[in-house]
Structure 1
Amino acid sequence: MYSRYLNLSSLISRSKSLFTKVTMAKFCPNLSFLFTEKPFLERYGLAKQAGFKVVESGFPLGFSIEQVSEARSAAGIQQVLLNIFTGDTSKGELGFAAIPGKEKEFRDSLDLTINYAKALGATKIHVMSGKIDGEVTSRHDETFESNIRYAADILEKNNIVGLLEPINKYSVPNYYMNSFPKAISLIEKINKPSIRLQFDIFHIQQIQGDIKHTLDSVKKYIGHVQIAQVPDRNEPDTLGEVNFHYIFKILQDAGYNDWIGLEYKPAKETVQGLKWIKEYGYQL
């Protein structure tokens, strides 16, 4: 009887271990990258059909609040994150936070994005800094700090977290926020829960590498995580520089249990590429 009890206990223990494994990571597709086989508004429904419970996206340029909100509601899916309105991307605009003389544009873009986020139920906004022509000067630094301080107060009042994300120079040359020390320094200086770090594995590997030690040093500031293989920005199981089995383990060890954004470009078709989730031992 005692040995049978031990066997049963062992089975329960293994089952609990498996349950912990398959439920540890919570994945949400970025609709600006995944399901691009269909127009943007249809991607909410496609994400739901694929089994996702939550999505994130860039700013839905060209669509009204009503259109996007209706598409999300009709799909019966939640949205956790939205990128700030970037301006005219055809002119190279990618946010205004670090651009001297564009303070009004920044504040207007923040107000607009908050309105969209609240309609969508999103509680996180990626605040983009913009690209700098020429050398970065103290004026850019001062403008960025002033704008982020302003944003911190507005976001806090609306129960939304603003995220600062360092972006690598290969993907976006001349982007102001291209350094983890720069982001962390400002987050510490502002010292408000409404300003956090967006920890994107794709970008950190190309900015500085050393993912494990960097994670250990910044984990208390992380407000969101995103992933993609390096350097081609495809699924985690494609050929590249990063071992995502290890990445998911160290994220778990660091205590991160929030959503992990899938901000990658499917190598082929989106749903076909999602096979990696089950192969890695997880489920939606």
Structure 2
Amino acid sequence: MITRRHAIASSLAAWATAGMAAAPALAAAGRLKQSVSRWCYQDMPLDALCAAAAKIGLQGIDLLQPADYETPRRYGLRCTMGYAADVMTIPNGLNRRENHAAIEQAFRTGIPQAAKAGVPNVIAFSGNRRGMSDAEGAENTIAGLNRLKPIAEDHGVTICVELLNSKRDHPDYMADHTAWGVRVARAVNSPRVKLLYDIYHMQIMEGDLIATIRESLPWIGHFHTGGVPGRHNLDATQEVNWRAVARSIADLNFTGYVAHEFVPQGDPLTALAEAVRICTV
């Protein structure tokens, strides 16, 4: 039986044997800065993922813990988004005022740490509704982010509140529509408080991707990809026209990162290289 770990090991061996020619710097010629999310390659050592990412032409690794911030630098990359407040989780986040003090304390340590390592973005979550109205949750989240924005502004690090789907993967999550996120980001009114627009999640919740991205770009700081359905490869089995979406983002002169956050099927590095090729516009 071929396990995911064996598949990744075989992929690494094949790339090492083939050398740089097997993985040209695909992304280098494109207008988008692309990276890859660490958790999708958990069975691969971080150093190996960084080496492969550098060969493909990616610019960074997404969603690293502070202990790993420096690893991508050895390969000419950077951590493009970090975890800087472990007290905040997807279900337990900024929409409850009783969480604000602990989150603020965590960011007072985590944001300077990210800044020192050259990490441009840190992730944040709204939390689940648990019977709370979206209006109350928005006001609470705005209040929490207003406590955090001076820390982010002082250190040049952007806090990105992630938009997730509540239909399939994260039941009851509050920041499940772009309009809710834009309402919050607009009210906070800081260049260092933005949205993490996850294309996979927003396709599930609302579709209308290109028009929504165009309208909401001033409040978007970061993108994630992932094939719909299933959060797998960006290929012909998926319903999103990824090249059109990527071109639309590039045409808006977006200067942040587009991070690939899908669980690869088949050879993992080949799947990643193909996703990068599609989004190189």
Shift of 1:46: 4.4
- Measure, in 2, the Cα distance between the counterparts of 1:51 and 1:252: 17
Bigger mean CA offset, 19-28 vs 202-211:
19-28
Q: Distance in 2 between matches of 1:275 and 1:47?
A: 9
Q: 1:57 aligns with which of 60, 63, 87?
A: 63
Alignment of 1:38-49 (within 5 A): 38-40=44-46, 43-49=49-55
1:28 maps to which residue?
35
Q: Quote the residue 1:81 is aligned against.
A: 81
Higher-Rg member (1/2):
1
Corresponding residue for residue 237 of structure 1: 235
Identity of aligned residues (%): 17
Report what 1:141 is aligned to.
138
1:212 aligned residue: 210
Aligned equivalents of 1:132, 1:41: Cα separation in 2: 38
Structure 1 partner of 2:68: 68
Instruction: Give the CA deviation at 1:172.
Output: 1.0
Quick one: distance in 2 between partners of 1:281 and 1:255? 14
Q: CA deviation at 1:72?
A: 3.2
**One-letter code aligned to 1:52:** L
Instruction: Return the match for 2:171 from 151, 154, 173.
Output: 173
Say whether 1:164 aligns with 2:161: yes
Distance 1:88 1:96 in 2: 5
Distance in 2, Cα, partners of 1:256 & 1:278: 17
* Worse overlay, 191-200 or 138-147: 138-147
Give the CA deviation at 1:143.
2.4
Structure 1 residue 273: Cα displacement:
1.0
TM-score normalised to structure 2 length:
0.79
Where 2:38 maps in the other structure, the secondary structure is coil
Judge conservation of contact 2:27–2:280 (CA < 8 Å) in 1.
Answer: no
**CA drift at 1:277:** 4.4
> Which shifted more, 216-225 or 154-163?
216-225
Secondary structure, counterpart of 1:125 in structure 2:
strand
**Number of equivalences:** 255
**Aligned equivalent of 1:250, options 231, 248, 266:** 248
Q: Is the 8 A contact 2:63 2:82 kept in 1?
A: yes
1:26 to partner: Cα distance: 2.3
Deviations 1:255-280 (A, max 9, x none): 22432111111113321212414753
Query: Using a 3 Å threshold, how does the CA distance of structure 1 residues 70 and 249 change in structure 2: closer, same or farther?
Result: closer
d(CA) in 1 for partners of 2:233 and 2:77? 22
Go from structure 1 to structure 2 and tell me whether the alpha carbon gap of 1:94 and 1:118 turns closer, same or farther (over 3 Å shift). Answer: farther
- What amino acid maps onto 1:117 in structure 2? A
Query: Distance between the aligned counterparts of 1:27 and 1:137, measured in 2?
Result: 33
CA distance in structure 1 between the partners assigned to 2:94 and 2:171 by the alignment: 16
**Cα distance per residue 1:138-180 (max 9 Å; x no partner):** 5533321111111111100111111122211122112122221
Q: Which amino acid aligns with 1:26?
A: K
Question: 5+ unaligned residues in a row in structure 2: which ranges?
Answer: 1-25
Counterpart of 2:95?
98
Of 185, 194, 203 in structure 2, the residue corresponding to residue 196 of structure 1 is 194
C-alpha contact 1:83 1:128 (8 A) present in aligned 2: no
SS in 1 for 2:214: helix
Q: Distance in 1 between matches of 2:88 and 2:194?
A: 26
Deviation at 1:85, TM superposition (A): 2.7
Matched AA of 1:77: L
Return the TM-score normalized by structure 1: 0.78
Aligned counterparts of 2:216 and 2:143: Cα–Cα separation in 1:
23
Which runs of 4 or more aligned residues in structure 1 lie more than 6 Å from their structure 2 counterparts after TM superposition?
Answer: none
SS class of match (1:280): helix
Query: Is 1:118 aligned to 2:115, yes or no?
Result: yes
For residue 181 of structure 1, report the CA deviation from its aligned partner. 1.1
For 1:200, give the aligned amino acid: D
CA distance in 1, matches of 2:202, 2:155: 29
